[in-house]
Structure 1
Amino acid sequence: MTTSAKATSIRLWDFKTPPMRAFHMSWFAFFLCFFAWFGIAPLMPVVRDEMHLSKDQVGWCIIGSVAITVLARLYVGWLCDRIGPRLAYSGLLVLASIPVMGIGLAHDFTTFLMFRIAIGAIGASFVITQYHTSIMFAKNCVGTANATTAGWGNLGGGVTQMVMPTLFALLMVAFGLSTASSWRFCMLLAGVVCAITGIAYFFLTQDTPEGNFAELRATGKMSQKSAVKGTFQEACRDYRVWILFLVYGACFGMELTLDNIAALYFIDYFEELKTADPVYALGIAGFVAGLFGSMNLFARALGGIASDRCAAKWALSGRVRCLFIVVLLEGMALMLFSQARTLQFAIPAMLLLGLFVKMSNGATYAVVPFINKRALGSVSGIVGAGGNAAAVAAGFLFKSSVVSWPTALFILGVIVTLVSVSILAIRFAPQIESEEATLPILTGDEAAPVLPAGVQAV
């Protein structure tokens, strides 16, 4: 996918230009999707007690929440190449809001699991977010743009860990609702906001800096849908796509896993919370788990910024080296966190882990736009699906009656460390390396917000 007139800088207070409107709407939409996706996670101790769920059933809920996202991300990447990110995002938000609200109707394990699986489709929003910013920003800042929108969106996973227990308690204390009614009403509100945001996305954004796909195709400024036929197969044949599939599984897959288990992990494995009042323990566990997700406010963007800086010095090979280092450090930090037995040690270890997990996420999608520009949606979808595929696989470790959760985390740390080595096999053609090195990073007044049509195509 190539377009001209891409933005060469990120101006956060600009809400008028198409690239910056897409920037702000995409991170906000993804934030809400993540909030709704994992809104039930910090309330699982309450749901578990109400529905009398076993460890095995909780494990299936963890797996189910990320399973369908694998297929959804593959499909939505293909869809973006054809109808554009604007329509894809609007449709996804409105449709996915239905199971988000519907889970409040669940009264047994089977119906709860079905809605939990259906909610997972909203995770495909990540691919649209990355696709939209990839075609709105030039190569000197695309890594930063992708990492920032995704990071601020992923922040929803941390905020929901703090907000949902607070909202749950507020509904009980201020409005006198029962525990069963309170957690259901929390999810109803999350679904309504998602639907409203989907409608707003349709009216406030456009597909590219120059207009929507339909308009550009009608005027001959953009290739017809038939021109992208076979791009998915093309992406599948590229070994680099599958390396990044594994890498994203090693970083974002671990983030999804921790978002799902964090509250339960702290309550079940730390004596300080095991013996505390249940409502108090839920609030503390949610706050601590929320710290991990809240690091997306800066850490994922830091990975993209580091990648852009490395690219300015060493071209695309610099992006690859940057990715290798942060994923390697993530694996080591995950093993360290798995050995924590007190909150005093676990919280700093988790924050260190969060830093490298989110930097790895950002650094991965700073490489993705340069793999295959014609098949950008398909590449983004396949790599994005890797995160959820890994989360599904990890879910089986956490539902096992043989493996304890700390042991499962240690095993995952070893796997992440091994996966980091595969990054060094990623190579780019010499001409692509030289093209990447031709555009330095510009900041402040050095960079124009948007290039004239035809001047810059990435």
Structure 2
Amino acid sequence: MGRMGLFRDAPQGVAAVASSILACIVLGTLLERFGPGNVHSGLPTFGAIWVVTAAASCAPWNYALTRFFICRTGATFVTLDANQFTCSLMVVLNVIGTATAEATEWGNLGHGVTQILSILVLSEITIHSGMAADTAWRVSLIVPAVFCLVTATGLKLLRRNTSTAARLDVSVTGKITKSLLWDSFEVLKDFRVVVRIMLYSTSIRTELAMNNQLTTRFRTYFLMDAADVSVLAGSFGLLNLVPYLCVHYVDVLCPGHLG
């Protein structure tokens, strides 16, 4: 990867974050039209294709392109975390805050786990197979691609769109008009949506940017061992366990006591 100049160039990181944001904007319409089950299984399937494609990267521009498409899978945050969609369909109101917290913290924990496992998988392939580093990282991409496909299959076959029906019918929520892409911009008229966007941008998007950069920073500027780098960067994701749960418990308890 270093041969492609990726450690000295940042366009692929910008492309990755931009892709995830654009996908989230479109996802609202897709969720209402096709249901969270279909959308959620489709995203990792799409991502798996581009993860394998990334293994053939030989220049910064095509690696940036594959990262752009791979990070559309990051939009699963909208469906999986459920604090925006799925929990409102699957969980009763008196526990929705707790359910949201649990889903969010364990979902974000995946960032930390991925940092650790990716380096371990790469190290094992490099050490035990004798592959060159430039070949080993390409082969290691088979692992996340397989995980994506297995996850997508499970999401398609084992989950329901709502707690009472296999298919989503948006009319039960009171919506009578067809879902359109413009709806994603129409909701900006509500100032509470804008406030939440600002809060998300300062927390979750910052977290994603950190997860994208920490490993490279520690490895390049501090010359740390790859295994140590993965654990240190992964610990950033592990920190999500406590804050999310505390914040959502406060969010649930305060209205009852403060009105």
Question: TM-score by structure 2 length?
Answer: 0.89
Report deviation, 1:65: 1.3
Residue 228 to residue 61, structure 1, CA distance change in 2 (3 Å): closer
Correspondence list, 1:208-227, <5 A: 208-213=162-167, 226=177
What is the identity, as a one-letter code, of the residue corresponding to 1:52? G
Match of 1:165 among 119, 126, 142: 119
Q: Mean Cα displacement is larger for which, 258-267 or 151-160?
A: 258-267
- Determine if the alignment matches structure 1 residue 139 to structure 2 residue 139: no
Match of 1:264 among 203, 210, 216: 216
Structure 2 stretches lacking a partner, 5+ long: none
Report deviation, 1:173: 1.3
- Determine if the alignment matches structure 1 residue 284 to structure 2 residue 228: yes
Residue 98 to residue 72, structure 1, CA distance change in 2 (3 Å): same
In 2, are the aligned partners of 1:84 and 1:212 still within 8 Å (CA)?
no
Root mean square deviation, CA, Å? 2.2
In 2, are the aligned partners of 1:158 and 1:293 still within 8 Å (CA)?
yes
In 2, are the aligned partners of 1:172 and 1:178 still within 8 Å (CA)?
yes
Report deviation, 1:224: 7.5
Aligned match of 1:454: none
SS of 1:141's equivalent? Answer: helix
1:411-444 per-residue CA deviation (whole Å, 9 max, x = no partner) reads xxxxxxxxxxxxxxxxxxxxxxxxxxxxxxxxxx
Aligned match of 1:440: none
How many residues in Structure 1 have an aligned counterpart in Structure 2?
255
Report deviation, 1:225: 6.4
Aligned match of 2:4: 51
Report deviation, 1:241: 0.7
Residue 186 to residue 312, structure 1, CA distance change in 2 (3 Å): farther
SS of 2:141's equivalent? Answer: helix
CA distance, structure 2, for counterparts of residue 114 and residue 221 of structure 1: 40
In 2, are the aligned partners of 1:162 and 1:287 still within 8 Å (CA)?
yes
Report deviation, 1:204: 0.8
CA distance, structure 2, for counterparts of residue 228 and residue 80 of structure 1: 9
In 2, are the aligned partners of 1:213 and 1:222 still within 8 Å (CA)?
no
Aligned match of 1:437: none
Match of 2:26 among 66, 71, 75: 75
Report deviation, 1:261: 1.2
SS of 1:168's equivalent? Answer: helix
Correspondence list, 1:79-90, <5 A: 79-90=30-41
Aligned match of 1:91: 42
Q: Percent identity between the aligned chains? A: 25
In 1, are the aligned partners of 2:12 and 2:65 still within 8 Å (CA)?
no
Aligned match of 1:333: none
Match of 1:205 among 137, 152, 159: 159
Residue 184 to residue 298, structure 1, CA distance change in 2 (3 Å): farther
In 1, are the aligned partners of 2:13 and 2:64 still within 8 Å (CA)?
no
In 1, are the aligned partners of 2:37 and 2:159 still within 8 Å (CA)?
yes
Aligned match of 2:204: 252
What is the identity, as a one-letter code, of the residue corresponding to 1:84? G
Structure 1 stretches lacking a partner, 5+ long: 1-46, 316-458
Residue 310 to residue 81, structure 1, CA distance change in 2 (3 Å): same
Report deviation, 1:76: 0.9
1:337-384 per-residue CA deviation (whole Å, 9 max, x = no partner) reads xxxxxxxxxxxxxxxxxxxxxxxxxxxxxxxxxxxxxxxxxxxxxxxx
CA distance, structure 2, for counterparts of residue 54 and residue 199 of structure 1: 35
- Determine if the alignment matches structure 1 residue 190 to structure 2 residue 155: no
Report deviation, 1:300: 2.1
CA distance, structure 1, for counterparts of residue 11 and residue 104 of structure 2: 27
Residue 251 to residue 224, structure 1, CA distance change in 2 (3 Å): closer
1:176-209 per-residue CA deviation (whole Å, 9 max, x = no partner) reads 2221222112222101211121121111111111
